[in-house]
Amino acid sequence: MRSLAVLLLLLLTLAPTTVLAGGEASVAVEVIQGTKGGSGTDSKVSKHSGTLSNFGGFGGWKAAGSFTVKTALGKAASKSVSGRTFTATLTELTASKAKVKLVITDPKGKDHAVTSSFSKGGQTVLTSKSSDGSEMHVFVVRVSF
């Protein structure tokens, strides 16, 4: 019984935090572009109207592109769209969580990054407003693993 208890305790302790060697995450991105003072929402992005309603003063929402990158542990995967570069790097992976660093590199080469832990199918939104405030790019990100 003692050995059984030790085994179960070991499994319960290690299982949720075990890093899965060789795993990868799939990062699907939809990029939506809007302009200051614009109006309307393109039908292709209308499913995100709830999210887009958060950005008052901007409108004319339209799809700027969509792509999927696959990132392995410690390996960055990038894609450029509308003058910005989107980079995803899987930094940690367990059975239930994937920690991913997402970076948007703006036209001036400056990085804007967020590191988040995603559950399966986790979704987050990044926005990048141009320095002059005339336009905004919305990155709707979904992580699968």
Q: Where on the chain is the footprint of other proteins (CB under 8 A)?
A: 2-4, 7-8, 11, 15, 18, 20, 22-24, 26, 28, 50-51, 54, 93-96, 99, 104, 106-108, 110-131, 133, 140, 142, 144-145
Contact, 117 vs 99, CB < 8 A?
yes
Minimum CB–partner distance for residue 34 and other proteins (Å): 12
Residues 6+ apart with CB under 8 A from 29: 66, 67, 68, 69, 79, 86, 139, 140, 141, 142
Minimum CB–partner distance for residue 144 and other proteins (Å): 4
Nearer to other proteins, 22 or 43 (CB): 22
Contact, 137 vs 84, CB < 8 A?
yes
Minimum CB–partner distance for residue 15 and other proteins (Å): 7
